[in-house]
Amino acid sequence: MITETSYIVQVDKWTIHEMELSKEKVSALWEILQRYKTLFSDITKMDPGNFVQAITSPESMWFEVREHDILIGIIWFGDMHQVVDCTAHMVFFDRRPAEKLEVCRAMMKWMFRSFPIHRITVTPPAIYHAVIRLLEKLGFKREGCKREAVLMGGKWNDQLIYGLTRTEVELT
């Protein structure tokens, strides 16, 4: 069951809240995200300044995914200055994104209802197999591949391009 209340979206036991940023919150989030060796490229994983710049950008929106008030993931959208497209990113700390299918679906619908964007783009590294399966279940279409675009663990990996348009989403 999907409902909307004081938080952005609730799906069963999960709620999505807009992230309230403070210096302490950004620092704590940086520490949590550092635990995931493949979350950042080799170029940015040791650079907290890059992360602070991304999270505090006026062109991005960050959301917390909570399960019974415990932070279990984040979803963020970048490039919000564009009317046509924005980029989406998802991280679930339990590494089980498939069970969050309805949470992600509800969030994509919320974005399309709340903003005049026509499409959402996601560019996962090709090694993110679980995320790719989730994107395809959400209706994202694979549009291309940027070969050897992300350096992770000293190895260059392809970055895939997935898109979802407003016309492909049932907004009711």
- Tokens of residue 27, six digits: 């620092």
What average pLDDT values come out for the chain (172 residues) when binned by 10 residues? Answer: 65 91 87 82 80 85 92 92 89 84 94 94 94 95 97 94 95 76
Cα-based distances in Å from 127 to 42, 136, 160, 168: 15, 15, 10, 26
pLDDT of residue 2: 47
pLDDT of residue 4: 46
Amino acid found at 156: W
pLDDT of residue 40: 81
- Tokens of residue 34, six digits: 């550092």
pLDDT of residue 1: 47
Phi, psi (5° rounding) for residue 98? -60, -35
Selection from 44, 104, 42 nearest residue 72 by Cα: 104
Strand duo 119-122 + 85-92: pairing: parallel
What is the residue extent of each domain of the chain?
A: 2-168
Alpha carbons 141 and 168: distance in angstroms, whole number: 10
Q: Which secondary structure element, helix H or strand E, spans residue 132, and what is its range?
A: helix 129-138
Q: Which CATH architecture has domain 2-168?
A: 3-Layer(aba) Sandwich (3.40)
CB contact at 8 A, 46 and 152: no
CB contact at 8 A, 106 and 55: no
State whether the Cα torsion 71-114-6-57 is positive or negative. Answer: positive
pLDDT of residue 167: 95
